[in-house]
Amino acid sequence: MKKKFDARRITALGLIDRYLLRLLGWPLAGCLGLTVVALLLERVLRLLDLLSQSAARFDYVTQLALNLLPHYLGLALPVAFFVALFIVISKLSDGSEIDALLAGGQSLERIAAPFVCVGLALSIFSIAVFGYVQPYSRYAYRAVMHAAVNAGWNGRLSGGAFIDDDGSLMTADAADLAGQSLTRVFIRRPDAAGHEELITAASATLQVSADGKTVTMRLKSGRRIGSDARGNYRSLAFDDLTTEAPLKAAASLLRARGGDERELTLGELLHQAKSPNPVVPKATLMAEFYGRIARAAFLPFLPLLAFPLGLAAKRGNRAPGLLLAGVLLLAFQHSLLLGQSLAESGRIASLPAVGLPFLIFTGLAVWLFVGSRTRPGDTPISRLVLAMSAQFRRALKMFQRKERAA
């Protein structure tokens, strides 16, 4: 018998889909934004410390941070997506909304469908980021870092820092906030004849020329030690000494893009692999290609993993479920890296080296989800999560008893 078309059923399903996607939207955006910002802030602090004596360091740090954005976006995407899924599924489970949907005739597969569709969209986005944007940004990051590291001294010095610029070494025990008034200065540099010269001073002031090509150093109460043409050392005590040092410009980039497989797009990886004389070994190129595809293709399977773990948290603590999920995601990432390393060394072909970890983890996600269809949340992993929750609560109670006894 032919079923009658029911527009109301389609509308109802559309409303459910929109409701689930609306629940996912803000947690996903929040988790992704917070993760990327946290990673960028940590890296920016290290870059500021590394380039503290470089000319125009803030301009360089801004450019470096922008070029790091695609890299950290790719790293944060799976984690943020899974955490957002876990939050939404736990919320639906706590409010018995999943039970109501199941009682209303919706299957677990149908409830998970909108999240899988989001995973597919993120997978396409990830291929664009990993496959085409990140190679260019990685090369741009290295180009800017090369320019920053070789930019030379900017005419300022922080207290306790060392300037090693073109054979000259300079340090000071203390400096003002501007880095131009120094205390207890030490300088080692070659003189006009190429011999080593040492200068110490109780204080010094630095002034950069208007064209930015030289810095004038006015040293007070110090000593200048050098050697003459015969190799005899001479020492000169001074009350006031003025000397100049050049400020060199940044060096140009040493090589073109493509010297590293991570700087090649997906199309360039395949093109280089087919080339008779590739710049990078073929095994390395194919391992990189399959690794990027595997990371992107894993995203649609995350909802299948999040549902069993999120539903299991209804009767227990959520921390063990998130902890276990973090371990699984970390294991997946490191297994892909291990497979790529084995492929690059020639021990295993590229496709099985990367494909086997991918099949293991996607198979695990599908197996857990299929096991949750009859009894949502009741899987071997969920039982492990509940056991971990019980152990966690037991350890917490023992710790609280010891605190009271103390």
Contact between 225 and 233 under an 8 Å Cβ cutoff? The reply is: yes
pLDDT of residue 336: 92
As a whole number of angstroms, the distance between CA 105 and CA 115 comes to: 19
Max Cα distance, the chain (Å)? 112
pLDDT of residue 9: 46
pLDDT of residue 174: 86
**Residue percentage of the chain with pLDDT more than 90:** 28
Which of left, alpha, beta for 105 (phi over 0: left; psi -120 to 50: alpha)? left
**Three-class secondary structure of residue 163 per DSSP:** strand
Structure tokens at 334: 């490191």
Contact between 187 and 169 under an 8 Å Cβ cutoff? The reply is: yes
As a whole number of angstroms, the distance between CA 391 and CA 114 comes to: 35
**Residue percentage of the chain with pLDDT more than 70:** 82
Phi, psi for residue 5 in degrees, rounded to 5: -65, 130
Contact between 188 and 197 under an 8 Å Cβ cutoff? The reply is: yes
Strands lying side by side in the sheet with 168-175: 162-165, 168-175, 181-190, 196-208, 214-227, 233-246
Task: Establish how many alpha carbons lie within 13 A of residue 346's alpha carbon, considering only the half-sphere containing its beta carbon.
Answer: 2
- Number of Cβ within 10 Å of residue 283's Cβ equals 20
DSSP type of residue 300: G
pLDDT of residue 376: 65
Beta bridge partners of 172: 185
Residue 121 has pLDDT above 90, yes or no: yes
Pairing of the two strands 168-175 and 162-165: antiparallel
pLDDT of residue 77: 93
As a whole number of angstroms, the distance between CA 90 and CA 312 comes to: 9
**Average pLDDT over every residue of 182-194:** 82
As a whole number of angstroms, the distance between CA 73 and CA 365 comes to: 23
pLDDT of residue 404: 72
Q: What is the pTM of this model?
A: 0.73
pLDDT of residue 319: 65
* Interval 11-39: pLDDT, tens: 445 788 888 899 999 999 999 999 999 98
As a whole number of angstroms, the distance between CA 138 and CA 134 comes to: 6
**Average pLDDT over every residue of 41-57:** 73
Residue 212 has pLDDT above 90, yes or no: no
Contact between 91 and 27 under an 8 Å Cβ cutoff? The reply is: no
Cα 276–chain centre separation: 34
Give the model's confidence band at 359: pLDDT under 50 very low, under 70 low, under 90 confident, else very high. Answer: very high
* Interval 299-348: pLDDT, tens: 999 999 888 877 765 555 566 667 778 888 899 999 999 999 999 888 88
Find the DSSP H helices in 55-200: 57-94, 97-103, 108-128, 134-149
